[in-house]
Amino acid sequence: MTEFSLSRLPRIEFGACVLARLPALARGYGAHALLVTGAGSLKSSSFWPAVTAGLKAQGISWLHLAIPGEPSPQMVDEAVRALHLEPIDVVIGIGGGSALDAAKAIAGLLKPGNSVMNHLEGVGPELPYAGPATPFIAVPTTAGTGSEATKNAVLSVPGMDGFKKSFRDEKLVAEVALVDPDLLATCPPAVIAANGMDAFTQLLESFVSSRAAPLTDSLAWGGMKAARDGLLALYVGAGDAVARERMAYAALVSGIALAQVGLGSVHGLAAPLGAFFPIPHGVACGTLVAMATRINIEALRTREPAHPALGKYAQVGRLLSKQGHLDQEAAHVALIDTLEAWTHALGLPTLAHYGVTPADIPRIVADSRGSSMKTNPVLLEDSDIAAILAARI
Ligand SMILES: [Zn+2]
């Protein structure tokens, strides 16, 4: 068996109604909380009064910070500047990937008080992060990024000179991931589609990652099976409790897997796409994953025909199509066909919808070789990466 290491995981509480455990869990860290949420829907949902009443009942006072859209380094720095003298014992992030990543970065810097730019990968001085982090409880309300289980916070500076980069350290991992599938009941279908494809992409990319290991493979496998059975069902009706559980589980284990073994070309491309254009992360992943898988398989067949990722892609093709008898080549076709069918059924927009044109391709390709691309199972040429984008414009 190949050597592997398993880095720190949060304590995980998973299941319908586990949200009710939040106040008591938070009280274990102290009586002063910072609540970080998205800008809108949670406060108008039935979950908000339950959460706030529970915190009050535990004698917890809180400050509330709402994050509008994807977090930027400036947003994190402003929050840290405003709050670092406050007596905050625990940061509670409740929301989608943006709210959780913002909460994670803020929790990391509340005590040290310095700018997040000191630590962002690939920009600035990349100084090591010494901590200490304020205890962080992550409560996802979407099934997508798996941020509740990862050690990085993705921050964006939007625009043609922008970037999308990670503040990453094992000390940033949440103390508790509280995953309550019931919270997905308020997710609109387009959010379910984009986030679900993000989660699936993270599972597939970690499964075939150049650093893949048996332990994360088994998690990713179970996650992909859950997504196969849950994604379209949840898209059609968020009232389906079993589908909610399946997708919440798929997203959680996608975060665990990616934090251990990394991702691939889809996430390599999602970073510059999300920085240069107003494309939600899940949409970028969902719209690219079928074509990126096709290109990876073609590149492996031509350049590294004995590579184990080819066998793994075939396994996933048999899993998704439920056709265990398929030979490797037929299973590869079944995998790509299934991903294309999902992309269509989930109504994922093309890149052109967000203003991407063929003239933008070279710039996106040039900025796609961040940390995710480094664990793609095969080294892609610029022309391969360009072909992925061209197919989805
Ligand atoms: Zn992702």
pLDDT in tens, 112-160: 999 999 999 999 899 999 999 999 999 999 999 999 999 999 999 999 8
Ligand 1 centre to CA of 174 (Å) is 18
Q: Which helix (H) or strand (E) holds 34?
A: strand 32-38
Ligand 1 centre to CA of 255 (Å) is 9
DSSP conformational letter for 349: P
Cα dihedral 98, 104, 107, 110, rounded to 10, equals -60
The predicted pLDDT at position 252 comes to 97
Share of the chain above pLDDT 90, in %: 92
| 180 vs 237: CA distance, rounded Å | 17
The predicted pLDDT at position 213 comes to 93
Ligand 1 centre to CA of 28 (Å) is 31
- CA nearest neighbour of 189 among 240, 253, 254, 225: 240
| 22 vs 61: CA distance, rounded Å | 14
* Residue 238 pLDDT exceeds 90: no
Ligand 1 centre to CA of 60 (Å) is 33
Is the CB of residue 33 less than 8 Å from the CB of residue 197? Answer: no
* Dihedrals phi, psi of 167, to nearest 5 degrees: -100, 110
Tell me the average pLDDT across 194-218: 97
Ligand 1 centre to CA of 133 (Å) is 24
Ligand 1 centre to CA of 49 (Å) is 30
The predicted pLDDT at position 1 comes to 73
Q: How many CB atoms lie within 10 A of CB 130?
A: 10
| 224 vs 231: CA distance, rounded Å | 10
Q: How many CB atoms lie within 10 A of CB 56?
A: 12
Length of the chain: 393
Ligand 1 centre to CA of 91 (Å) is 23
Is the CB of residue 252 less than 8 Å from the CB of residue 12? Answer: yes
Produce one character per residue of 379-393: b if its CB has 16 or more CB atoms within 10 Å, e if not. ebeeebbbbbbebbe
Is the CB of residue 333 less than 8 Å from the CB of residue 320? Answer: no
Q: Please state, in angstroms and as integers, the Cα–Cα distance from residue 3 to each residue in 186, 310, 333, following that order.
A: 42, 21, 32
Ligand 1 centre to CA of 285 (Å) is 7
Ligand 1 centre to CA of 200 (Å) is 9
Ligand 1 centre to CA of 262 (Å) is 11
CA angle at 252 for the pair 249 and 253, rounded to the nearest 5°: 85
Q: Which helix (H) or strand (E) holds 64?
A: strand 61-67
* pTM for the full predicted model: 0.95
Instruction: Give the residue with greater pLDDT, 161 vs 255.
Output: 255
Q: Which band of pLDDT confidence, cut at 50, 70 and 90, is reported for residue 360?
A: very high
Ligand 1 centre to CA of 159 (Å) is 20
Ligand 1 centre to CA of 353 (Å) is 20
Do the strands 176-179 and 11-14 form a parallel or antiparallel pair, or are they unpaired? parallel
Share of the chain above pLDDT 70, in %: 100
Residue position matching structure tokens 């043609």: 160
Tell me the average pLDDT across 173-193: 95
Ligand 1 centre to CA of 114 (Å) is 27
The predicted pLDDT at position 90 comes to 98
- Residue 8 in 3-state DSSP? coil
The predicted pLDDT at position 41 comes to 72
Ligand 1 centre to CA of 126 (Å) is 22
* Residue 78 pLDDT exceeds 90: yes
Ligand 1 centre to CA of 371 (Å) is 13
Is the CB of residue 163 less than 8 Å from the CB of residue 154? Answer: no
* Residue 262 pLDDT exceeds 90: yes
Tell me the average pLDDT across 71-100: 96
Q: Which helix (H) or strand (E) holds 343?
A: helix 328-345
Tell me the average pLDDT across 194-200: 97
Per-residue pLDDT reduced to its tens digit, 302-343: 999 999 999 999 999 999 999 999 999 999 999 999 999 999
The predicted pLDDT at position 339 comes to 98
* Residue 172 pLDDT exceeds 80: yes
Peptide bond into 132 cis (omega under 30): yes
| 29 vs 311: CA distance, rounded Å | 46
CA atoms within 13 A on the CB side of 128: 2
Per-residue pLDDT reduced to its tens digit, 29-77: 999 999 999 987 788 888 999 999 999 999 999 999 999 989 999 999 9
Ligand 1 centre to CA of 381 (Å) is 22
Q: Which band of pLDDT confidence, cut at 50, 70 and 90, is reported for residue 371?
A: confident
Ligand 1 centre to CA of 16 (Å) is 24
CA angle at 130 for the pair 127 and 136, rounded to the nearest 5°: 115
| 97 vs 84: CA distance, rounded Å | 23
Ligand 1 centre to CA of 263 (Å) is 9
Ligand 1 centre to CA of 356 (Å) is 20
